[in-house]
Amino acid sequence: MYEYLRGKVEYKKPDYLALDVNGVGYKVNISLRTYDFISAGEEVKLYIYNYIKEDAFKLIGFLEERERNLFEMLLGVKGIGVSLALSVMSTFDIDTIRDLVATDDYTNLKRVPKLGEKKSQQLILDLKSKLKTLDALSIDTRNDDAAKHLMIEEELISALEGLGYSKKEINTLITRDELRSFKTIEEAIKGVLKKVNY
């Protein structure tokens, strides 16, 4: 059983990555959000959920412990397994999931591929009683550099969307390497706006 793994990303695919830990390669399943953030050759720390069944053993990795906690909550929802739970977390971040549950917004929740209306309603029903836990998960507890930059990225995208930029335009405004050079969200916003002479 693994609590976390720290190592170098040898390569990545949309649903998993190969993590080199002291010369041993681990196949770690990930969400699309994790895939989008990390890069091959990067040193990362992943919090691990150990999925064990008679015919399968999978390692599922998250950049933050709170992401793993949410994943475990999703697995407790009737009809939701590992693949669907990862799909939910690939589509929405923790704060958005919390808001969708709080407002009974199954219409937007069912945008998750293969979730559907019934399972969306079931997810809200099962997690509704755990709103306090979701609130706690929504509190920013990010300590690692990777998680810190993920927070900056999320806040920067939100700020730029508020200024009227589309996601496509945002992707052309700033590269991943440029984003990682910023230490605060304020610095990131100033850097991007300077590029467009806002």
Q: What is the pLDDT of residue 144?
A: 52
**Range of weakest confidence among 36-40, 140-144, 159-163, 192-196:** 140-144
Query: Which tokens belong to 112?
Result: 């998750």
What is the rounded average pLDDT of the residues 42-53? 93
Task: Give the pTM.
Answer: 0.68
CA atoms within 13 A on the CB side of 71: 24
Average of pLDDT values for 58-80? 92
DSSP for 140-151, written as a single string: ----SHHHHHHH
The pLDDT value given to residue 12: 96
Look at residue 166 in the predicted model and tell me its pLDDT.
Answer: 78
pLDDT band at 119 (very low <50, low <70, confident <90, very high): very high
Predicted confidence band of residue 142 (pLDDT cuts 50, 70, 90): very low
**How many angstroms separate the Cα of 107 from the Cα of each of 58, 97, 118, 158?**
31, 12, 11, 21
As a whole number, the mean pLDDT across the chain is: 84
Q: Residue 53: what pLDDT? A: 81
Q: Write out the two tokens for 168.
A: 């496509």
Q: Is 58 left (phi over 0), alpha (psi -120 to 50) or beta?
A: beta
Pairwise CA distance, residues 51 & 19, whole Å: 17
The stretch 158-175 carries a mean pLDDT of 75
DSSP designation for 110: T
Q: Please name every residue paired with 49 in a beta bridge, in sequence order, or none if there are none.
A: 60
Separation of alpha carbons 101 and 189, rounded Å: 30
Q: What is the mean pLDDT of residues 71-89?
A: 93
Report how far residue 188's alpha carbon sits from residue 183's, in angstroms, rounded to the nearest whole number: 8
If one counts every other C-beta atom within 10 angstroms of the C-beta of residue 49, the result is 22
Binning pLDDT at 50, 70 and 90, where does residue 95 land?
confident
Residue 155 has pLDDT above 90, yes or no: no
Strands 24-29 and 16-21: antiparallel
